[in-house]
Chain A
């Protein structure tokens, strides 16, 4: 964000408590460096934040709005879906709020409970006009965020809050971007494709390692990166190669990204599939407090899914 602010003189970062650094210390030091008129706090109203960001972006500034937790994005849902996503379409191209990025921490964190652990990416994926981007680690986060800020479309950048403290990587210090609409094949394989995003990648990699060790199965792990629109070509190419697929995410099963992915895969790769696409997801309940370890798709569940799909 520091680089984005340096590069673009019209960029502003705002949200609840960002001035002192934010609840996850994402904006530490920015206010001092770039000024209080560019990095500032907003009052506690997400709908206001979203509307304000849309207005700012549509009039020439670059807006980076932070929603403190993705669970709080629902008051802003109307603004994002009905205003931000449709701005360019409804004005026939005269106006757009492309220079707009919403950032929100999402996902389970071990002790979040109902309202600090939700994954709303599927609900926004259902809305044409807005991109949803989820990084899997620090290197990806920096590149994707800079790309999202630069991108001429409104982007919802969901950051897995579990990774804030857990992930450690060597990140290049300069400005770089990663392509937004491409998925990345993190690990090559030949027997089964594992698709996930965000913090789920760590779990999928661990499950792949265990599958290789115990079952001798070579897994291809794909990071979606952009949830909507997702990269159909990479996924289709991979599934055609392997013939089996497992999709994993924390969000609830029904109408999650798993559903969308499996339906697209069966459309594009039907004759190449050896087994149905297996979805390993959260259960269809509100996110629990004490039962979180049973709710999230952890390594064991992913491994079982791999085994089931291989043995189909």
Chain B
């Protein structure tokens, strides 16, 4: 008897794997991450069995289409095929691939079910090297060094500008007048991980492209790039709820993207075309959206406006929290303190977020601020310091902060982050920091690389090449047509 069995299999697997890997950080490997990834694998096959009776009385063929999950256990299924041989002979139909399949898979999972057990948990990095956040001592020492320095740009003599990275973000939360802190163990699903990575990488590509366009004089005016700070906007947007609103300063391209504007409309706005987010009338600094109040040019002016938006949330009782962003430079503006006072007095649902990227245009934080502990600047407003390069820490802190602000009123968050490009495209970026510093931050504390390390569990063929290809192609495709779009209309 001849048995022919043809299996055509469609495979979409669902396998749960648990692995533990050491997360090797560039400087020290201290943290371990447990990451479980649920992969789906669906098995579907068409089996054609041809039984030929030895006695030659006839052929019987049975076409069995089976999909997984099958209501019957495998062995029964096998025997069913035996039974179906109509010539009356006993045939044993053994499907080669079926056997192989059975042998290969130790366990089978029901597709359509979520992965068994709790979602994967990631422990956020901590115990990293701490830097003394004593700005007074640093500032004094810096001034002394510079006074003695003979070089024309005194800053190079200051130890805090040498090639050892001066700004290693603190890898744990620090609270000011807070009883509890956000948790350091977070969940990460695969879909979320890919989404965050893709968003951050898209923003990075978009900003790079914007920088190139500016140099080619396709973009005029001002262009403040967000490269290096992506973790803040991607992480925080992941932590917002639909009723929350934000207001930020001029470094708003990343926020515009996270708020739903496409790369095309953002770049069109930079070019000044009518397809842009503000119909080409605002430019780089003035992009707005639903519950996204911009995009503001004057430093610090958006903070009291944010407090006002929070007052509206409170008045309308819509449970929304306003996040008012400002930078380390703007934190010395008087109106910021006025906003703090009013917010605390009236218990407004506002979170003041200082995106501390260590430089206020050309002035480092030590030279501009008497206190560089920006999360304590609120004084009577509790504050939280977050590692702004760690996307998951940012997300966790945001979720915690929205709950806090809803209950207890204002909060100050400080996101310790870093920008790779200059303040704006007109800033040569060489007079106040060295290229080595920037390179060091790029290698050690890049938010996208950090996210990638965390996603190591994704199958190799699907993670890196697919994402990069997708992001690069889509960004290129979207950046080209903008130049041909018309100018904004006079209305």
Question: Chain A residues in contact with chain B, CB under 8 A?
Answer: 16-17, 20-21, 23, 32, 36, 41, 43-45, 47-48, 71-72, 74-75, 110-116, 288-291
Asked whether, in the complex, the Cβ of A288 is within 8 Å of the Cβ of B281, the reply is yes
Known: A111-B221, A115-B297. A48 touches B334 (CB 8 A): yes
Tell me whether B408 is interfacial, beta carbon within 8 Å: no
In whole angstroms, how far apart are the Cα atoms of A44 and B300 in the complex?
A: 9
> A112: which of B221, B333, B368 is its contact (CB, 8 Å)?
B221
In whole angstroms, how far apart are the Cα atoms of A47 and B329 in the complex?
A: 14
Given contact pairs A112-B221, A114-B285, a sample of 15 additional A-B residue pairs in the complex whose CB atoms are under 8 Å apart: A17-B362, A36-B147, A44-B300, A44-B330, A44-B332, A44-B333, A44-B360, A47-B333, A113-B221, A116-B222, A289-B220, A289-B221, A289-B272, A289-B281, A289-B282
Known: A43-B329, A43-B363, A289-B221. A20 touches B281 (CB 8 A): no
Asked whether, in the complex, the Cβ of A45 is within 8 Å of the Cβ of B367, the reply is no
Tell me whether B283 is interfacial, beta carbon within 8 Å: yes
**Chain B, Cβ-Cβ closest to A109:** B221
CB distance from A256 to the nearest CB of B (A): 22
CB distance from B307 to the nearest CB of A (A): 17
> B153: which of A20, A47, A48 is its contact (CB, 8 Å)?
A20
Interface residues of B in 213-231 (CB under 8 A from A): 220-222
Known: A43-B369, A44-B299, A288-B281. A17 touches B361 (CB 8 A): yes
Q: How many of B's residues come within 8 Å of A, CB to CB?
A: 36
Question: Chain B residues in contact with chain A, CB under 8 A?
Answer: 146-147, 152-153, 220-222, 272, 280-283, 285-286, 297-300, 329-330, 332-335, 360-363, 367-369, 426, 431-432, 487-488
In whole angstroms, how far apart are the Cα atoms of A16 and B282 in the complex?
A: 25
Asked whether, in the complex, the Cβ of B222 is within 8 Å of the Cβ of A113, the reply is yes
Asked whether, in the complex, the Cβ of B363 is within 8 Å of the Cβ of A32, the reply is no
CB distance from B135 to the nearest CB of A (A): 13
Known: A20-B362, A45-B333, A113-B283. A290 touches B298 (CB 8 A): no
**Chain B, Cβ-Cβ closest to A37:** B147
Asked whether, in the complex, the Cβ of A17 is within 8 Å of the Cβ of B363, the reply is yes
Known: A17-B362, A41-B363, A290-B487. A72 touches B432 (CB 8 A): no
> A110: which of B152, B220, B272, B360 is its contact (CB, 8 Å)?
B220
* Among all A-B residue pairs, the 3 with the closest Cβ atoms: A115-B297, A111-B220, A290-B272
In whole angstroms, how far apart are the Cα atoms of A291 and B282 in the complex?
A: 11
In whole angstroms, how far apart are the Cα atoms of A48 and B300 in the complex?
A: 13
> B298: which of A48, A72, A291 is its contact (CB, 8 Å)?
A72
Provide the residues of chain A in CB contact with B281, threshold 8 Å.
288-290
**Chain B, Cβ-Cβ closest to A17:** B362
In whole angstroms, how far apart are the Cα atoms of A48 and B334 in the complex?
A: 8
**Chain A, Cβ-Cβ closest to B272:** A290
CB distance from A229 to the nearest CB of B (A): 30
Provide the residues of chain B in CB contact with A75, threshold 8 Å.
298, 300, 333-335
Asked whether, in the complex, the Cβ of A114 is within 8 Å of the Cβ of B297, the reply is yes
CB distance from B223 to the nearest CB of A (A): 10
CB distance from A157 to the nearest CB of B (A): 22
In whole angstroms, how far apart are the Cα atoms of A291 and B220 in the complex?
A: 12
Asked whether, in the complex, the Cβ of A72 is within 8 Å of the Cβ of B299, the reply is yes
Asked whether, in the complex, the Cβ of A290 is within 8 Å of the Cβ of B222, the reply is no
In whole angstroms, how far apart are the Cα atoms of A100 and B43 in the complex?
A: 82
Provide the residues of chain B in CB contact with A48, threshold 8 Å.
332, 334
Asked whether, in the complex, the Cβ of B362 is within 8 Å of the Cβ of A45, the reply is no
CB distance from A78 to the nearest CB of B (A): 10
**Chain A, Cβ-Cβ closest to B280:** A290
CB distance from A111 to the nearest CB of B (A): 4
Asked whether, in the complex, the Cβ of A41 is within 8 Å of the Cβ of B367, the reply is yes
In whole angstroms, how far apart are the Cα atoms of A72 and B329 in the complex?
A: 14
In whole angstroms, how far apart are the Cα atoms of A74 and B153 in the complex?
A: 32
Provide the residues of chain B in CB contact with A43, threshold 8 Å.
329, 332, 360, 363, 368-369
Provide the residues of chain A in CB contact with B360, threshold 8 Å.
43-44
In whole angstroms, how far apart are the Cα atoms of A136 and B72 in the complex?
A: 92
In whole angstroms, how far apart are the Cα atoms of A105 and B333 in the complex?
A: 21
Provide the residues of chain B in CB contact with A74, threshold 8 Å.
298
In whole angstroms, how far apart are the Cα atoms of A166 and B222 in the complex?
A: 20
10 A-B contacts, Cβ less than 8 Å apart? A17-B362, A20-B431, A21-B431, A44-B368, A72-B299, A110-B220, A113-B222, A289-B272, A289-B282, A290-B487
In whole angstroms, how far apart are the Cα atoms of A75 and B487 in the complex?
A: 33
In whole angstroms, how far apart are the Cα atoms of A71 and B299 in the complex?
A: 11
In whole angstroms, how far apart are the Cα atoms of A111 and B283 in the complex?
A: 10
**Chain A, Cβ-Cβ closest to B274:** A290
**Chain A, Cβ-Cβ closest to B155:** A20
In whole angstroms, how far apart are the Cα atoms of A289 and B487 in the complex?
A: 11
Known: A44-B300, A44-B332, A47-B334. A16 touches B363 (CB 8 A): yes
CB distance from B105 to the nearest CB of A (A): 62
In whole angstroms, how far apart are the Cα atoms of A41 and B369 in the complex?
A: 11
CB distance from B153 to the nearest CB of A (A): 7
**Chain B, Cβ-Cβ closest to A110:** B220
